[in-house]
Chain A
């Protein structure tokens, strides 16, 4: 098994950093489900990494260590349990959206089926590519099932002036979409709200992003249909 020459070149340019934004986002999403591509990118990063050693240092303008330590602590502290709200109004539409998302997810997950069957232990790390279509990933959500940790990285989500992206978990057992919080469109968003959910629900759920008024949905209900959806696939160890 070897990479197509085009993918090899793209992996090289990914590591160099010269892919166009759309190409970069697509490759970043593909590497999550194509171990060979991921290995090729890592090999290129490793080949070029000695250059980084030669980087002349620049002292940061402020001491970022306290802020970094605070982020690390925040990621390790579970927040209060989510409010449970009855969200019957949007339920039918959301169920329909979840069904649609399942089709996309099936296409994404198909490569994992064979490996899953052979895996001795159940995987604990999952990712979901949240997207409109297979070639336009907007966010990538990573989940650690044991810790209930969630981190969501923006890929190509267009900024929404005066609006916020909000992430929801949808699963029939939950009855209604439940908010996992507002997403930062320009930086990684971390949270551990999933710790309050049953692991089987977390694994099987559909994840969806809506556009909400700034700061998130005012009433705990999605204001409109999802703009990006995805299902979890296990990460190769």
Chain B
């Protein structure tokens, strides 16, 4: 039941989150039916995370599979205090994708994955249907960054843009981009902790 101070969206996010947390707990106890249910419930978001970062479909499939094997292995380590189950799982998937692009070569602006138009490059977190309290807070803090810097952070997060790729996009030298990113992240932390 939503409490009075919860918006419907937050209540929706909370209910979904509790379901996933219960599945994760069963996966930690080596329940393969729960693992299948967890996969079905989350494959779209996790594939969405890796496919926006990796430019090749086979690489996305590989990263997705590695991520779920890792989720099976690490399910017992999920800590609700550190974030939502989907955030935890997506971070694992994202790290697999980042290991892949940062290992071979930087992401190339010329090699967009199929189905992504340049206009749709950055995901708009405001469009999220269900918003957790943590997402609401993060969006508020992102809103305090300059527009360019916010876009740079979001392109890095959702599309895996390297500093060089961001430098090309914003017509700024790579060291400047590095400074932007570091200052923006520090500003975000300060805002989140205030």
Contacts and interface: CB of A to CB of B under 8 A. Distances in A.
Interface stretch (A11-19, A98-106, A116-124): A11-19
Contacts of B106: 21
B157 A17 contact: yes
Contacts of A44: 185
A162 interface: no
B181 interface: yes
Contact of B65 (A61, A67, A156): A67
B25 to A, nearest CB: 18
B62 A50 contact: no
Interface stretch (A69-77, A107-115, A206-214): A69-77
Contact of A55 (B84, B123, B188): B123
- Interface SS of B by simple majority: helix
Chain A interface category by residue count: 35 or more
A8 B26 CA distance: 35
Q: Most chain-B Cβ atoms within 10 A of its Cβ — which of A44, A64, A154, A188? A: A64
Nearest to A185: B103
Chain B interface category by residue count: 35 or more
Q: Most chain-A Cβ atoms within 10 A of its Cβ — which of B95, B98, B99? A: B99
A52 interface: yes
Interface string A122-135: 00000000000000
A61 B57 contact: yes
Contacts of A25: 102-103
Interface of A: 9, 12-13, 16-21, 24-25, 28, 42, 44-62, 64-65, 67-69, 71-72, 75, 153-156, 186-188
13 contacts: A9-B186, A13-B182, A19-B102, A20-B102, A49-B83, A49-B84, A51-B138, A53-B90, A53-B135, A54-B123, A58-B44, A61-B57, A155-B103
